[in-house]
Copies of this chain bind each other. A is one copy, B any other.
Amino acid sequence: MAPVRELTVGQVAMRSGVAVSALHFYEARGLIRSHRTSGNQRRYGRDVLRRVAIIRVAQEVGISLADIARAFQSLPEERTPTREDWNLLSTAWRDELDHKIAQMKKLRDGLTDCIGCGCMSIDKCPLRNKEDRLSAQGSGARRLVVAR
């Protein structure tokens, strides 16, 4: 069989569902890589499709491009990443994801914990933080947020 063709930016855009401009942008941010033809046009290997797919999913769950880029740096440079490589990456995100999943479930399940119990207004909730940590630690809704 002929080795699978390289993809143009337009093809990647079509197959991945993201705009050409976004692909340029991801490349500028170091999230994907391409080499150039003699005429200076980008060509991508197939694995770019996986990368882009991961970028989108990761973004959808609230991981920033910067974080994604950082995570991608653990992927091999010159070898097409294997399933193992990708798995490694996702386990690296596990804690963060677990935290977010917990937050989401809390929100989904009726916010029953802290909000539902009225502790916000009664000032006696066992879950409340000490005031000082609140003011000392800059911002963030420390009260309701699941401890990391």
Contacts from A to B (Cβ < 8 Å)? 4, 14-19, 22, 46-47, 49-50, 52-58, 60-62, 83, 86-87, 89-91, 93-94, 97-98, 100-101, 103-112, 114-116, 118, 120-121, 131, 134-135, 137, 139-145
Assess whether B111 is in contact with A86, with CB atoms less than 8 Å apart.
yes
* A-side interface mostly: helix
Nearest 7 interchain pairs by C-beta: A56-B141, A97-B108, A46-B121, A49-B120, A53-B144, A87-B110, A62-B62
Contact among B22, B90, B121 for A50, CB-based, below 8 A: B121
Report how far A60 CA is from B58 CA in the complex, Å. Answer: 14
- Chain B residues near A120: list those with CB within 8 A: 46-47, 49-50, 53
CB distance from A73 to the nearest CB of B (A): 17
Are B61 and A100 within 8 A (Cβ)?
A: yes
- Give this chain's copy count: 2
Cα-based distance from A107 to B94 in the complex (angstroms): 8
Q: Given A90-B110, A110-B90, do A14 and B134 touch, yes or no (CB 8 Å)?
A: yes
